[in-house]
A and B are shown apart, each in its own frame.
Chain A
């Protein structure tokens, strides 16, 4: 296949993905109004901006709570030997 044929094909798929970047979530109108009021004269451009910001903060916090160490006890012993040899432990 010619190079630009391959490249162009990929480009179309990505344009489609770019269009699907946002979705709609429903929140109570009263909450929407409260947020709209709250964000006046702040850096937030819209209620969506604010909601995205707050949700990202909360989601990251919950994800952090679910974390576990990325190594086994076997790894730890091997790494400890290296750290001792290098004078770190």
Chain B
């Protein structure tokens, strides 16, 4: 399992994050490490840098971690979280420019085949390219 890229799902809503993670697990089972988080520090809608850092570390793989986000604040907070990781991990995490549900499912399916972080990202981002 540590030979596959990890997937992190970051939504403004804990429910969306969990639901997306459920869909990913249905597709790839336990082959890929998946972590998710949602909600601001008070539990309302929003995103939370410490929780994102925890999720990235939970999904950690030596091959790297692909992060899927919903709206702007989730992206900004995820990029901030990546910069706050320990230095040897920062370059092994990418925030994908892709729709959160489809991107997470596509990224995880690609990761399950043992693909590299760049390949996983490319497959997820093809969805945005149309």
Partners in one complex: no
